Amino acid sequence: MLWLAGLFGVVALVYASVGFGGGSTYTALLALWGVDYRLIPVIALFCNIIVVTGGSIRFVRAGLVSWPRVLPLLLISAPLAFAGGLVPLKQVVFLTILGGALLASSIALFMQADKMAPRNVSKPMLLVISGGVGLLAGLSGIGGGIFMAPVLHLIRWAEARRIAAFASLYILINSAAGLFGQIIKSGAHALAEPAMQYGLLLGAVLVGGQLGSLFGMRYLSPRLLRTVTALLVGYAALRLLWQAYGSA
C-alpha cells in the first residue's frame, strides 16, 4: 500500500500542476493493483475531488473562469455524470468501459502534446461532447478533463490558462456528481469502505495535489510527463481489455 500511495502522490502532483485531477491514472493503477472493480470509481473520483478543489478555488479567485462560457458545459455534463454513477455494471462491462476510456485518455494525451491546426466545432456539438464525457466520468471514475482539454485546445476555445481552469472545475463538478451517483447506487458503505481501507491514498493525493497546484510544472518537461503517462494509461487499457475478453 505504501508503494501505491507514493505513486498516487506523484500522480496528484503532476496532474494538479496542469489543472487535472489524475483520475485516468488512478483508475489504471487501482486496476493494475487488483482492487475490487466496484471500488475503483469511488476511490478515483474521491481522489479527483481532493486534488482539484484547491486549484479550482485558485483559478476562480484569479478570474480565469468565464462563467457564461463554462456554465452550459457544466450544466449538461454534471447530470449525466450523476446518471453514469447510478448505472449498475457487470465486471466485463465495467472493464470494457474503463479500458476504452483509458485508451481514449492515452490518445488524448498524445494529441495534446502535438501542435495541430484549429478545428471548427459548433456550440451544440461541444455541448454533446461535454455531456458524453460527463456520462463517461460517472461510469468509469474519470473526471473528464483529460478528454475535454484536448478538444478545447484543438478548437482554440480559450488561452491555455483558461482551459486549465475550466478543466479543473469540470473535473471537480463531474467527479462530485459521479461520486454521488456511485454512493446512491451502492449505499453509504461504498464511500466508508474505501475511506477506511485506502485512506492512505487519499492523504497522498492531498499532499501531492497541494504541492502540484502551488509549484506547478517548474522542473519537469510537461511533454515528457504526458508521454510517460499516456504510455502507462495505454498499457493499463490494453491489459483491462484483455482481462475482459482475452479468455472469451
Tally of domains within the chain: 1
pLDDT at 114 over 60: no
**How far, rounded to the nearest angstrom, does the alpha carbon of residue 186 sit from its chain's CA centroid?**
21
Residue from 40, 39, 137 nearest 79 by CA: 137
C-alpha 130/C-alpha 119 separation (Å) is 17
Write the single-letter amino acid at 56: S
CB 83 within 8 A of CB 181: yes
**How far, rounded to the nearest angstrom, does the alpha carbon of residue 23 sit from its chain's CA centroid?**
3
Mean pLDDT of 91-119: 74
Q: What's the pLDDT at 217?
A: 52
Better-scored residue on pLDDT, 224 or 92: 92
All residues at 6 or more sequence positions from 20 whose CB lies less than 8 Å from its CB, including other chains: 52, 143, 145, 146, 149, 167, 168, 171
- Grid cell, residue 16, equals 494538479
pLDDT at 62 over 80: yes
Q: Ramachandran region of residue 63, left (φ > 0), alpha (ψ -120 to 50) or beta? A: left
- The domain in which residue 182 lies consists of 2-245
Cα–Cα–Cα angle for 185, 188, 190, nearest 5°? 70
- Confidence band, pLDDT 50/70/90 cuts, at residue 132: very high
- Grid cell, residue 189, equals 458503505
